[in-house]
Amino acid sequence: MSSGPTIGRRPQDEIVTLKHGAGGRAMRTLIEETLAAGFIEGDGGAIGLAAFDDGAALPIGDRWLVVTTDSHVIQPIFFPGGDIGRLAIAGTVNDLAVMGATEVLGLTSAVVIEEGFLRSDLERIQRSMQETCHEAKAKIITGDTKVMGHGELDGVIINTTGVALADSVVSDSGLSPGDRIILSGPIGDHGIALMAARRGLGLEGELRSDVAPINGLIRGALDAGGDAIVAMKDPTRGGLASALTEMAEKSRVGIVIDEAEVPISTAVRSAAEVLGLDPFHIANEGKAVIGVRPEAAQATLDALRSHPQGADAAVIGTCLEEHAGRLILDTGFGRRLLTEPEGEPLPRIC
Amino acid sequence: MPEADVRRQASELKFRDPAKARALAEKLARLCEAIGREPIQVMHVCGTHEQAIAKYGLRTLLPKPLDLIMGPGCPVCVTDLPEVDEAVALAEDGKLIATYGDMLRVPGTSKSLAEAQAEGARVEVVYSAAQAVELARSTDEDVVFFATGFETTAVATAAIALEDALPGNFSILSAHKYVPPAMELVAQIPQTKVEGFLAAGHAATITGWGIFEDLVERFGIPVVVGGFEPLDIMAGLVRLVELIRDNSKTVVNMYPRCVTRAGNTVAQQQMWSVFRTAGGMWRGIADVPDGSLRLRDEFAHLDARKKYKIDISRLLQHAPSALTEQCICGAIMSGLATPTDCALFGKECEPTNPVGACMVSSEGTCKIWYQYGGHPEL
């Protein structure tokens, strides 16, 4: 965050707005300045709040206990390719997985429901959570339920917390110059499908969210790449651009992405162009970005591609010593910066 | 090859072939060398052009003597403060405001629509004027469509205004702008020395390229109408520099797959039956005679300015902040400065905390430079 001469806060800084929830810089600054203030010191050898990683890792003997939590709100609750229940399980399982913790010990589920919510919808969400847990080889081990008055929230909120043990943890900050960046599959599907469904754009056709637990896929990559896998992240809110910018900043390397190598489906590419949105800024819920030492890149890629969820995996970029903290896109025409989205992506006027 | 791949290649390679773009860049460099002086200043007047140039990294391909200036091409940026204030005042008075997404964060005198929304006012993002009408049909609340944009969106607003049986709770707050008078104004600014215009292909699909003949005749500046794919832009620039080299004062249509000389006459007829031109400020630039579009009297029943008493005085009590006075958006939109000339750029002024409108819209030069790195040396 820049820190030029401040002329006092402007009125808009006094309240929280949607831009603070969009997963970009505004959100990180808000958290640093308010919610995490006073808690971020003294994590010892563990990965704690100060790391702003996907979760925490606490040393237990010679292993690590990995913990993560996430509250899920989404409109519409049922969307092409998934629903809030599937999202609540996959989101937390994936946050654990990208820290190297692919075998889930257990999940908690806290559900807050608005008065008037259909019981049949709740049952549908529950079935979906169960199916997704089955896919992820995970179990819900405890939970909590609250009901609030009509209008006090919008439908339903689901919070899930996940715990897992891992022999070693993978942070999002371990990149060095020369490392390769691998993406596990096409980007943009979740956010674009949601936007199309939400706005009734008539573009829905082939657009489906990619929401899925990918701990199995990541286990395969970790087995193939071993210690050569030095950083991982799931590019959710803020999209691939936010995930890679965070990785570049924390690792103090530059990252150059070869645009032609980034898998994007034709449906997403077309819808994003119509809406004036950048697929690099759009949320994904079933993808991983993996930083790997160059000598293990091919083996890691092969392992990903041999898994049904990783068939379109690709090496999309390389880490540089220069331009530390910056993400650069090589478009094939020339190079330019690739920056994080600022606030919620909004469609353009023309 | 699977069918989807065939479609992908067909849609992408035709106008997005990096090798062809480099060949055009070399041709452009030879042309500039033949002219033998610098800078050769040409101006585009379209945020979508700047978007495409930045997004594809085309600036790194342009020869050094060619100075491609960005003109007043962002409809969001030129929407004037009092126009935003009117929308904010209506929102605060309980009207449901429907508008295009990138209008949300444009600062008004004291607040933007997004800030009014955070304080409880109702603002809905729509993708079209038709969607704003649908919104009005779905509610008993008064819906005001805050209509912004150039000819391209003004025709869509006009088509809606001409529909039968519009719901009684629907009205329009027009902040539409009309581009040709602004090009004339910029052509007359002595400091800019624009030698040629790259005109916006999408606006020309409506107005037709013939509309620029008058400008060429009166100011002696060649105009090339260009599309928005990388090769459209490169080919348009090559043609424009050829015209400059040959001292040829003419209009050339380099976007014939969409643009004709007459344009879309049905749309023009609809637009002029609904709107009249009026003077009015283009934010940061100047009062542009005939540069604003207002609803004609026959459409008074749809005109939010006539239907409601809009009192913006309470929003004007904030004196412009010290920051606002340092903002050079106007000079940037007139082609006299670039974002990096501004002391606030990337410091006090960022997309999440914009001082000027150019940092808000994805069509705004400052936002585009912030996002893509301006003149990068990467």
Same domain, B302 and B342: no
End-to-end Cα separation, chain B, in angstroms: 36
Is the confidence at residue A101, as pLDDT, over 50?
yes
Provide DSSP, A120-176.
Answer: HHHHHHHHHHHHHHHHHT--EEEEEEEEE-TTSSSSEEEEEEEEEEESS---S----
In a domain, residue B361? The reply is yes
If pLDDT is split at 50, 70 and 90, which confidence band does B352 have? Answer: confident
Rounded alpha-carbon distances, angstroms, from residue A277 to A103, A271, B89, B265 = 36, 8, 29, 31
Chain B residue with CA closest to A12: the answer is B115
Is the confidence at residue A40, as pLDDT, over 80?
no
Token look-up 């460099």 returns B29
- Tell me the per-residue pLDDT of A223-254, one tens digit each, with 9 for 90 and over: 999 999 999 999 999 999 999 999 999 999 99
If pLDDT is split at 50, 70 and 90, which confidence band does A343 have? Answer: low
Contact of B133 with B170, CB cutoff 8 Å = yes
Contact of B44 with B224, CB cutoff 8 Å = no
**Beta-strand relationship, A335-337 and A327-330:** antiparallel
Is the confidence at residue A114, as pLDDT, over 50?
yes
Residue A164 to residue A219: CA distance in whole angstroms: 13
Indicate yes or no: CB of B378 within 8 angstroms of CB of A18.
no
Size of interface A-B (CB pairs under 8 A): 135
User: What share of chain B in percent tops pLDDT 90?
Assistant: 62
Set of chain A residues whose Cβ sits within 8 Å of the Cβ of B105: 343, 346
End-to-end Cα separation, chain A, in angstroms: 30
The pLDDT score that the predictor gives to residue B220 is 92
Which of A25, A336, A348 comes nearest B373 by C-beta? A336
Set of chain A residues whose Cβ sits within 8 Å of the Cβ of B372: 336-337, 339
* Residue B261: both structure tokens together: 């000389």
Q: What's the average model confidence in pLDDT over A113-131?
A: 97
The mean of the pLDDT values for chain B is 90
Taking the CA of residue A156 and the nearest CA in chain B, the distance in Å comes to: 21
If pLDDT is split at 50, 70 and 90, which confidence band does B76 have? Answer: confident
Is the confidence at residue A19, as pLDDT, over 80?
no
The pLDDT score that the predictor gives to residue A345 is 65
Q: Name the least confident of A36-45, B153-162, B353-362.
A: A36-45
Q: In terms of residue numbers, what domain contains B167?
A: 77-177+292-317
Mutation target to probe the A interface, by most A beta carbons within 10 A, among B148, B152, B353 is B353
Three-state DSSP at A313 gives coil
Is the confidence at residue A349, as pLDDT, over 70?
no
**Length of chain A in residues, anyone?**
350
The pLDDT score that the predictor gives to residue B305 is 97
The pLDDT score that the predictor gives to residue A3 is 36
In a domain, residue B143? The reply is yes
Same domain, B126 and B139: yes
Residues 6+ apart with CB under 8 A from B137: B167
Is the confidence at residue A78, as pLDDT, over 80?
yes
* Domain end point (choices B281, B300, B317): B317
- Tell me the per-residue pLDDT of A257-296, one tens digit each, with 9 for 90 and over: 999 999 999 999 988 888 878 899 999 999 999 999 999 9
Q: What's the average model confidence in pLDDT over A80-97?
A: 97
Contact of A270 with A205, CB cutoff 8 Å = no
In a domain, residue B224? The reply is no
Q: Which of A39-43, B141-145, B350-354 has the largest mean confidence? A: B141-145
The pLDDT score that the predictor gives to residue A13 is 64
Indicate yes or no: CB of A346 within 8 angstroms of CB of B104.
yes
User: What share of chain A in percent tops pLDDT 90?
Assistant: 73
Taking the CA of residue A323 and the nearest CA in chain B, the distance in Å comes to: 8
In a domain, residue B236? The reply is no
Provide the ipTM. Answer: 0.71
Set of chain A residues whose Cβ sits within 8 Å of the Cβ of B57: 329-331, 333-336
Q: What's the average model confidence in pLDDT over B312-324?
A: 77
The pLDDT score that the predictor gives to residue B177 is 95
- Tell me the per-residue pLDDT of B220-248, one tens digit each, with 9 for 90 and over: 999 999 999 999 999 999 999 999 999 99
Chain A residues with a Cβ under 8 Å from any Cβ in chain B: 2, 4-5, 7, 10-13, 15-19, 24-26, 199, 201, 256, 266, 269-270, 275-276, 323, 328-337, 339, 342-343, 346-350
Three-state DSSP at B352 gives coil
If pLDDT is split at 50, 70 and 90, which confidence band does A9 have? Answer: very low
Set of chain B residues whose Cβ sits within 8 Å of the Cβ of A347: 100-102, 125, 127
Q: Name the least confident of B120-124, B152-156, B355-359.
A: B355-359
Indicate yes or no: CB of A350 within 8 angstroms of CB of B150.
yes
Same domain, B128 and B91: yes
If pLDDT is split at 50, 70 and 90, which confidence band does B10 have? Answer: very low
Set of chain B residues whose Cβ sits within 8 Å of the Cβ of A27: none
Set of chain A residues whose Cβ sits within 8 Å of the Cβ of B76: 349
Residue A203 to residue A269: CA distance in whole angstroms: 12
Set of chain A residues whose Cβ sits within 8 Å of the Cβ of B323: 7
In a domain, residue B274? The reply is no
φ and ψ of A229, to 5 deg:
-85, 115
Mutation target to probe the A interface, by most A beta carbons within 10 A, among B68, B79, B127 is B127
Is the confidence at residue B330, as pLDDT, over 90?
no
The mean of the pLDDT values for chain A is 90
In a domain, residue B140? The reply is yes
Indicate yes or no: CB of B103 within 8 angstroms of CB of A349.
yes
Contact of A108 with A70, CB cutoff 8 Å = no
If pLDDT is split at 50, 70 and 90, which confidence band does A30 have? Answer: confident
Indicate yes or no: CB of B110 within 8 angstroms of CB of A330.
no
The pLDDT score that the predictor gives to residue A277 is 86
Is the confidence at residue A173, as pLDDT, over 90?
yes
The pLDDT score that the predictor gives to residue A1 is 35
Indicate yes or no: CB of A336 within 8 angstroms of CB of B372.
yes
CATH number, domain with residue B116: 3.40.50.11740
Set of chain B residues whose Cβ sits within 8 Å of the Cβ of A12: 111-112, 115, 118, 353
If pLDDT is split at 50, 70 and 90, which confidence band does B13 have? Answer: low
Q: What's the average model confidence in pLDDT over A47-69?
A: 90
Indicate yes or no: CB of B57 within 8 angstroms of CB of A336.
yes
The pLDDT score that the predictor gives to residue B216 is 94
Q: What's the average model confidence in pLDDT over B106-111?
A: 87
Chain B residue with CA closest to A345: the answer is B101
Is the confidence at residue B15, as pLDDT, over 90?
no
Taking the CA of residue A255 and the nearest CA in chain B, the distance in Å comes to: 11
Set of chain B residues whose Cβ sits within 8 Å of the Cβ of A275: 127
Which of A7, A334, A343 comes nearest B321 by C-beta? A7
* Domain end point (choices B274, B301, B317): B317
How many domains are contained in chain B?
2
Residue A135 to residue A139: CA distance in whole angstroms: 10
Indicate yes or no: CB of A337 within 8 angstroms of CB of B76.
no
DSSP class of residue B353 equals: B
Set of chain B residues whose Cβ sits within 8 Å of the Cβ of A333: 18, 21-22, 56-58, 60-61, 230
Taking the CA of residue A334 and the nearest CA in chain B, the distance in Å comes to: 5
Which of A269, A270, A337 comes nearest B373 by C-beta? A337
Residue A255 to residue A326: CA distance in whole angstroms: 6
If pLDDT is split at 50, 70 and 90, which confidence band does B351 have? Answer: confident
Which of B60, B102, B322 comes nearest A348 by C-beta? B102
The pLDDT score that the predictor gives to residue A6 is 37
Helix, strand, coil percentages (3-state) for chain B, rounded to 5, are 50, 15, 35
If pLDDT is split at 50, 70 and 90, which confidence band does A341 have? Answer: confident
How many Cβ atoms are within 10 Å of B185's Cβ, its own excluded?
Answer: 19
Indicate yes or no: CB of B57 within 8 angstroms of CB of A347.
no
Set of chain A residues whose Cβ sits within 8 Å of the Cβ of B321: 7, 10
Which of A15, A25, A331 comes nearest B118 by C-beta? A15
In a domain, residue B353? The reply is yes
In a domain, residue B350? The reply is yes
Number of H helices, E strands in chain A: 8, 14
Q: What's the average model confidence in pLDDT over B212-217?
A: 94
Q: In what order do the strands lie in the sheet with A254-258?
A: A229-233, A289-292, A180-183, A314-320, A254-258, A327-330, A335-337
Three-state DSSP at A50 gives helix
Higher pLDDT, B9 or B19: B19
Residues 6+ apart with CB under 8 A from A271: A192, A195, A196, A201, A203, A207
Which of B56, B321, B376 comes nearest A333 by C-beta? B56
- Gyration radius of chain A's alpha carbons: 20
The pLDDT score that the predictor gives to residue A4 is 36
Is the confidence at residue A11, as pLDDT, over 60?
no
Is the confidence at residue A12, as pLDDT, over 60?
no
The pLDDT score that the predictor gives to residue A196 is 85
What pTM, to 2 d.p., does this model score?
Answer: 0.80
The pLDDT score that the predictor gives to residue A44 is 64
Query: Per DSSP, what are the bridge partners of residue A191?
Result: none
The pLDDT score that the predictor gives to residue B127 is 87
Q: Which of A39-53, A121-135, B53-67 has the largest mean confidence? A: A121-135
φ and ψ of A331, to 5 deg:
-85, -5
Taking the CA of residue B152 and the nearest CA in chain A, the distance in Å comes to: 8
Q: Which residue in A278, A201, A293 sits closest to A240, CA to CA?
A: A278
Chain A residue with CA closest to B124: the answer is A199
Indicate yes or no: CB of B57 within 8 angstroms of CB of A2.
no
* Domains and their CATH numbers in chain A: 57-166 (3.30.1330.10), 180-337 (3.90.650.10)
Which of B7, B115, B350 comes nearest A266 by C-beta? B7
